[in-house]
Amino acid sequence: MSSDGENQTMEFDQTALAIIAKPLAPSKLHRRLLKLVRKAGKDKSLKRGVPGDVSPIDVLTHIPVLCEEANIPYAYLPSKVELGAAGSTRRPTCCVMIPEPKSGTFSVGVILMSDNIELSEEQKLLIQTNMERARRLISSKRPLEDTVQQAAVNETITTSRRGGFLHPSQPDSTLKDTREARRLNDDIIVTYPLEGNATCRHCTSIELDAVLKTHFSINVCHNCREIHSNNYRLLTKTTVKDEYLLTDEELADTSVLPFMTKPNPYKSTWSDMQLYLSMHVEKFAVKKWGSLEALQQEITRRESTKEARKEKKFKEKLKELRLKTRSKSSSALSSRASRRHVHCFEIVAAGLKRCTECQLEVEEEDI
Amino acid sequence: MSSDGENQTMEFDQTALAIIAKPLAPSKLHRRLLKLVRKAGKDKSLKRGVPGDVSPIDVLTHIPVLCEEANIPYAYLPSKVELGAAGSTRRPTCCVMIPEPKSGTFSVGVILMSDNIELSEEQKLLIQTNMERARRLISSKRPLEDTVQQAAVNETITTSRRGGFLHPSQPDSTLKDTREARRLNDDIIVTYPLEGNATCRHCTSIELDAVLKTHFSINVCHNCREIHSNNYRLLTKTTVKDEYLLTDEELADTSVLPFMTKPNPYKSTWSDMQLYLSMHVEKFAVKKWGSLEALQQEITRRESTKEARKEKKFKEKLKELRLKTRSKSSSALSSRASRRHVHCFEIVAAGLKRCTECQLEVEEEDI
DNA sequence: GCTGTCGGATACCAC
DNA sequence: GTGGTATGCGACAGC
Ligand SMILES: [Zn+2]
Ligand SMILES: [Zn+2]
């Protein structure tokens, strides 16, 4: 099953790129890259190069080459995905390099592209190859990723009885599945004599889903649960807060919104997951927000304010950097930079690199 | 001067209504009514009638009559003004009654109208008359209004030397003038021998404005100050925070944004006004927000979030009320209500009134 | 008009 | 994925 999910991410033609760009359906590899970037950012180990007055593409075109030479796997990501999920920048094109925890050498490069950059067939192929290499590296190197990987395996084990239920027409079933968490426990409750069993609320089956019956006192069979999967999904507390805009306070009233717990898949010693039933949550959210449309409107509103905040913050930072950098790079030097070449940087000060050929100065900032 | 301002508010034909409806240029009377409503709201003394399932206009048509009979002055206000300034409701039509502090009898009624309600000539005349009565009552009755009125007089006194400078083509000069506060002190600094005086930064005059020279070390003559009045306006701290979105922290750095103080015009014992120079503020705001356009965009954004919040809050409240009221008014009774008549309410419970003829129930809520 | 306080929402970090 | 804390902002009441 897990191999299913990963195979899908390898197709990376223009069509797939458009699909992957949807914020709500990032592929597994994308999500891993984002997590990786985010984690590296937290560790203050992520380096982000911000060029001064030259067009960003001028600086970036050589990165793939450098990566190739240094045998560093890299990958292109549509920028939209990054913006939403990893909370990165609004720059149309930029590059992040993720160093090894110990040695400081770079292990993975990620190039964030604007959506409207045209790719040649050759580039596409290169991308595909490197995506694969990056994927392999990621799944084998990073402790965080290892944990998640491990968790996925554990889930698969506990759900062995339904391991093969994934439908081929669901390209992002991996993601969906994790969020639904229906595979966590699929035991069936049947007692003897059979006549004493309650029947499914939708049909006459007595093979009731154990999770729903035990934790939510809902009698529903596996079949009907899947038929009405929108009602019987399990949602984590975080998801509910993010996608239904409920508050901690509201989620604390178990008489209105009961929940079950499961060990935290990231690390079992961390706080348990709190899983709410989608039908409860949705009903509550409709009561709170008026309608699902109104809810969606509020979500959009908050997202746009978030975007605005980010943009403002970034502009401030950029202006600062520009002020710091502009004085150092004279116009005479930058005109020389127009000649096409691969920048070769030397470090001239803490966080400041200069190309030995064109004197382009690039400031590194920790993010 | 103050009589100038008040005369203008008496013209209340359709044209004037459109003019008055502009949020940024409410007439003096409008602003007083709004303050009155707001203050009454704070005192929990404001009663707002919320009809159940009947069309609001059905309930409201008799209010003027009742007011007439009880000799209560009333006035129509375009609803848009209320929504923005007094933070009232989104109802297209509603009515607020403001009781006397002691007796509890009503002294002023304000009817908030939708902008698209058609008025007959007779109605317009009635409105005009009652506007006038309401204005007189307000300026004579309310302690808050008295204070403001008094403050206005004091300002006029301190600015006697330029008392007549108001231009007739400025209908809202009263408001503008207060905000500019240029009349607070218009002494001229000239020392002898005349050769020792600095000259105006814009011309050769040595009759420098004392306020700007003393508090901001800016040499500018009265004439040039008025010519460049956009640069040399004085803005209160509150105005700066509202209209330029600067924070307390930013406004505290006097090396960047110096300010002068003046006694609080509302009550001299309250905190002094802090007056900033418009050119300083604008320059800082442009640096902070990127441009005046970006600032305006942010202001608009915040206003829309505020609107959204209000709307949501109101919807919640309305839903509650509907639930409480609906069960009490049967459909049979409300059909009887369609006959045209003046509702005559009796109190059936705390905050609940019922018309003796049509049984219409109206719930009063404190706001 | 100014100030302090409170509640909501958001961002960040550690587990 | 969750819980805590820190921060910025809007609302409000008192002065
Ligand atoms: Zn069933
Ligand atoms: Zn001059």
Structural domain includes residue B212: yes
Q: Which residues of B touch A290 (CB under 8 A)?
A: 315
pLDDT, tens digit, 9 for 90 and up, residues B292-338: 999 999 999 899 888 878 777 777 666 666 666 554 444 434 444 44
Cβ contact A301–B305 (<8 Å): yes
pLDDT over 50 (residue A169): no
Interface residue of B305, B307, B313 to substitute, partner A, most A CBs within 10 Å: B305
A126 and A207 co-located in one domain? no
Q: Which domain holds residue B212?
A: 193-232
Concatenated DSSP letters for A148-174? HHHHHHHHHHHTGGGTT---TT-TTHH
| ipTM of the prediction | 0.47
Strands B106-113 and B74-78: parallel
Using DSSP, how many helices (H) and how many strands (E) does chain B show?
17, 12
List all residues 6 or more positions away from B338 whose beta carbon is below 8 Å from its beta carbon.
none
A122 and A197 co-located in one domain? no
A109 and A200 co-located in one domain? no
Considering A197-201, A336-340, B99-103, B183-187, the range whose residues carry the highest mean pLDDT is A197-201
Structural domain includes residue A281: no
Is-contact B337 B55, C-beta < 8 A?
Answer: no
Structural domain includes residue B332: no
Residues in chain B, total = 367
A128 and A203 co-located in one domain? no
Count how many Cα atoms sit within 13 Å of the Cα of residue A249 in the half-sphere of its side chain.
0
Return the CATH number at A63: 3.30.1330.30
Question: What ligand is nearest to the CA atom of residue B222?
Answer: 2
B290 in contact with A at a CB cutoff of 8 Å? yes
Residue B235 CA distance to nucleotide D8 C1' (Å): 24
> What is the pLDDT, as a whole number, of residue B270?
96
What three-state secondary structure class fits B264? coil
Q: Which residues of A touch B301 (CB under 8 A)?
A: 304-305, 308
Strand partners, B364: B49
- Residue B210 alpha carbon to ligand 2 centre in Å: 13
Within chain B, which residues score under 70 in pLDDT? 1-186, 316-367
A163 in contact with B at a CB cutoff of 8 Å? no
Considering A152-161, A291-300, B10-19, B63-72, the range whose residues carry the highest mean pLDDT is A291-300
> What is the pLDDT, as a whole number, of residue B267?
95
pLDDT over 50 (residue A120): yes
Structural domain includes residue B323: no
B217 and B118 co-located in one domain? no
Residue B213: exposed, middle, or buried by beta-carbon count in 10 A (0-12, 13-18, 19+)? middle
- Residue A162 alpha carbon to ligand 1 centre in Å: 17
CB neighbours of residue A17 within 10 Å: 19
Count structural domains, chain A.
Answer: 2
Q: How far apart are CA B26 and CA A108, in angstroms?
A: 61
Residue of A nearest to B288 (CA): A316
- Residue A209 alpha carbon to ligand 1 centre in Å: 9
B298 in contact with A at a CB cutoff of 8 Å? yes
CB neighbours of residue B96 within 10 Å: 26
- Residue B273 alpha carbon to ligand 2 centre in Å: 27
Cβ contact A305–B301 (<8 Å): yes
**Distance of residue A314 Cα from the nearest chain B Cα, in angstroms:** 12
Residue A230: exposed, middle, or buried by beta-carbon count in 10 A (0-12, 13-18, 19+)? exposed
CB neighbours of residue B195 within 10 Å: 6
Looking at per-residue confidence, does A130 or B54 come out higher? Answer: A130
Ion ligand 2 — residues with CB under 5 Å? B 200, 202-203, 205, 221, 224
Q: Which two tokens stand for residue B307?
A: 């609107």
A265: closest CA among A173, A353, A151?
Answer: A151
Residue B83 CA distance to nucleotide D9 C1' (Å): 21
> What is the pLDDT, as a whole number, of residue B313?
73
A308 in contact with B at a CB cutoff of 8 Å? yes
What three-state secondary structure class fits B104? coil
B35 and B111 co-located in one domain? yes
Locate all alpha helices (DSSP H) within chain A, ordered by sequence: 2-8, 14-20, 28-42, 56-60, 63-69, 79-81, 121-141, 143-158, 173-180, 210-216, 222-227, 229-232, 237-244, 248-252, 278-289, 292-326, 331-336
B34 and B122 co-located in one domain? yes
A31 and A126 co-located in one domain? yes
Q: Please, which pLDDT band fits residue A62 given cuts at 50, 70 and 90? A: very low
- Residues A207, A209, A211, CA angle at the centre, nearest 5°? 155
B32 and B132 co-located in one domain? yes
> What is the pLDDT, as a whole number, of residue A192?
81
Concatenated DSSP letters for A59-122? HHTTHHHHHHHTT--EEEEEHHHIIIII-----SSEEEEEE-TTT--EEEEEEEE-TT----HH
Structural domain includes residue B304: no
Q: Please, which pLDDT band fits residue A58 given cuts at 50, 70 and 90? A: very low
Q: Which two tokens stand for residue B28?
A: 């003096």
Instruction: Give every strand in the sheet of A259-262, ordered side by side.
Output: A234-236, A273-277, A259-262
Structural domain includes residue A56: yes
The protein residue nearest D3 (Cα–C1') is: A271
Residue of B nearest to A288 (CA): B316
pLDDT, tens digit, 9 for 90 and up, residues A78-97: 443 443 334 333 333 344 45
> What is the pLDDT, as a whole number, of residue B201?
97
> What is the pLDDT, as a whole number, of residue B238?
97
Ion ligand 1 — residues with CB under 5 Å? A 200, 202-203, 205, 221, 224
Question: What ligand is nearest to the CA atom of residue B202?
Answer: 2
Q: Please, which pLDDT band fits residue A110 given cuts at 50, 70 and 90? A: low
Structural domain includes residue B38: yes
Average confidence (pLDDT) over A134-148: 35
A107 and A199 co-located in one domain? no
Strands B106-113 and B94-99: antiparallel
Residue B142 CA distance to nucleotide D14 C1' (Å): 19
Q: Which of A101-105, A134-138, B62-66 has the lowest mean pLDDT?
A: A134-138
Q: Which two tokens stand for residue B116?
A: 């698209």
Is-contact A38 A88, C-beta < 8 A?
Answer: no
Q: Please, which pLDDT band fits residue A253 given cuts at 50, 70 and 90? A: very high
**Distance of residue A319 Cα from the nearest chain B Cα, in angstroms:** 10
Rounded to 5 degrees, what are φ and ψ at A300?
-60, -45
In chain A, how long is the greatest CA-to-CA distance? 91
Q: Return the closest nucleotide (C1') to the Cα of B236.
A: C1
Structural domain includes residue B216: yes
Looking at residue B160, the DSSP 8-state letter turns out to be G
A31 and A117 co-located in one domain? yes
Q: Please, which pLDDT band fits residue A362 given cuts at 50, 70 and 90? A: low
Question: What ligand is nearest to the CA atom of residue B227?
Answer: 2
Looking at per-residue confidence, does A135 or B111 come out higher? Answer: B111
B216 and B121 co-located in one domain? no
